[in-house]
Amino acid sequence: MSKNSTGKDIWVLGDYRNYFKNRVTLQILARARALAEKTGGRVCGVVFGHDVGGYTGEYIAHGADRVYVIDHPRLKSYGIETFTNLLIRLARDMNPDIILIGATRFGQEVAPRVAKQLDTGLTADCIDLEIDDKGRLVQIAPSFGGNLIARILTPKARPQMATVRPGTFHELPHDNTAKGEVVTLDLPEDLPAERVRCTHSEYRPAKTLGIEKADIVITGGRGMGSKGKFKKLFDLAGLLNAEVGATRPVVHAGWVGHEALVGQAGKHIRPKVLFSFGISGAIQHTAALMDADFIVAVNKNPDATMMKLADVAIVADANQVCSGIIRALKEKIRD
C-alpha cells in the first residue's frame, strides 16, 4: 500500500450495493467536497469489491479527487469482517483526517467496528457536518431521544468518523469532465478468513411503499390518543388518496406496524402535502420529512417542534380535527 497522505484527506466508503437505489455514497461525496474546501484535504472514495471499475468512475464524476480500489474475486460480496479489516489497514497506513460512511445496514455495522479498532469516536446519523475554525469536524446529530441537536467533536482521536443516513445530503450533478486519480491496491495476503458465513442471499427489494413516493402523507403520533383513534387516519387517507405514517412511540406501542415509521430509522418522505396529527416532533422524525412542500400540523401544544415546522399550525385536539377534515372532505368530494 502506498504511503501518500497528508493526514488531511476525507474518506468516503463506497457502498455501491443496490447502486441505483442507494445514492448515499454520492450524497456524502457532495458534502465531503464542501468540507474539503475548508480543510484543504482531498476527497477520497474507498472501494472494495470485484469488477467495481464502474463505480470508481462514478465517484470521480460526483466529486472524488481520488479513489482507492481493491478489486479481487474474494471481495465479490460484502463481507463484514473483510471490509472492516481492509478499511482499518488502509486508514492506519494513510491516516485520513475524516472517514464518512453511509448509514445503510452494512454501513451501520462497518463504521462502529472501524471506529472501535482505530480507537476513535463515531457519531451516528449526522444530520449535518461542518468544519470549525480549528479545522475540526463538527458532527451534528439528534440527541437525547431527538428533542435536541448535539454538536459533537472528536477532539484528539483520529480519524474523525460519522455515519449519515441516505437522503440527508444531495448528490452533485454527474460531471463527465471531472478529473480524479484511481489508486489500485493489492488485496493483502494475510487477510483472515471471514468468520461469518453467508449460506444464502436473495435480493428482495422492499416494496417501495407508497409512503415514500406519495403526494399526500398523513402522520400520527401519541397525540391521537389510542390505537382505535389512530385508525381514523386511515379513513382520512382513503379520502385523500394518501399514505399513513407514524412516529416511533406509536410504532412501539403497536398502534401500527414498523413499516409505517417515518424517521431516520424508517421511511424518508417528500410529499406535496403532509398532515401531521398529534406529533411533538423529535428530530429523528422531522429529519425525514423536511422535504415536504407544505405541512399542516395539528397539536394541542402550540410550542411543539412539529408546529414550528408547519406552514399551517392548528392548535387543537388532533383527533377532533381529523374527524372534522373527514366530514368536510366527504361533503366536498361527493358527486
Partner 1 sequence: MENNTLDIIVCIKQVPMVSELPWNSKTGTLKRELAQGMMDPASRLALEAGLRLQRAGQLEDRRIRVTALTMGPPMAEEVLHQAVSLGADHGVLLTDRKMAGADTNLTSFILGRYIRMFKPDTGLVLCGAQTSDSETAQVGPQLACELDFPAIGWASDIRLTQRTLVVTRLVDDFMETLEMDLPGLVTIELGAFVPRYAGLAGVAQAFASPKIDVVDADRLELDRDFNALKDSPTRILDVFSPATQKESRVLKGAAKTVVDKLFTDYGKIISSAMGKDLKKK
Binders of partner 1 in range 94-123 (CB under 8 A): 104-106, 108-109, 111-113, 115-117, 119-123
Q: 46-77 burial, b if ≥16 CB within 10 A, otherwise e?
A: bbbbeebeebbebbbbbbbbbbbbbbbeebee
Q: Report residue 274: phi and psi, to 5°.
A: -120, 125
Q: Shortest gap between Cβ of 1 and partner 1 (angstroms)?
A: 22
With CB under 8 A, what is the number of residues at the site for partner 1?
104
Nearest in space to 123 (alpha carbons), one of 87, 99, 148? 99
CB nearer to partner 1: pick between 174 and 330: 330
Q: Does 269 bind partner 1 (CB under 8 A)?
A: no
Cell of 205: 427489494
Are 284 and 248 in contact by the 8 Å Cβ rule? The answer is yes
Binding region for partner 1 (CB under 8 A) out of 35-43, 182-190, 230-238, 287-295 = 287-295
Minimum distance, C-beta of residue 142 to partner 1, in the bound complex (Å): 8
R_g (Cα) of the chain, nearest Å:
22
Which residues within the stretch 161-190 sit at the binding site for partner 1 (CB under 8 A)?
none
Helix (H, G, I), strand (E, B) or coil at 92: helix
Using CB atoms within 10 Å of the CB of residue 189, give its burial: 0 to 12 exposed, 13 to 18 middle, 19+ buried: exposed
Question: Please, which residue, 74 or 198, has the CB nearer to partner 1?
Answer: 198
Residue 106 CB, nearest distance to partner 1 (Å)?
6
The answer to whether residues 205 and 199 touch, using CB atoms and an 8 Å cutoff, is no
By beta-carbon proximity to partner 1, the closer residue of 44 and 297 is 297
Between 2 and 199, CB nearer to partner 1: 199
Residue 224-263 contact track with partner 1, rule CB under 8 A, x = bound: ----------------xx------xx--x----xx-----
* C-alpha span between 115 and 96 (Å, rounded): 13
Q: Which stretch binds partner 1 (CB under 8 A): 29-37, 176-184, 223-231, 265-273?
A: 265-273
Please answer whether residues 300 and 316 qualify as being in contact, where contact means their C-beta atoms are separated by less than 8 angstroms: yes
Site for partner 1 in 120-159 (CB under 8 A): 120-125, 138-139, 142-157
Residues 33-92 that bind partner 1 (CB under 8 A): 80-81
User: Three-state SS for 304?
Assistant: coil
**Residue in 1, 8, 22, 33 binding partner 1, rule: CB under 8 A:** 22
* Stretch binding partner 1 (CB under 8 A), from 4-12, 44-52, 55-63, 191-199: 191-199
Q: Which is nearer to partner 1, 71 or 128 (CB)?
A: 128
Q: Which of 100, 51, 94 is nearest to 71 (CA)?
A: 51
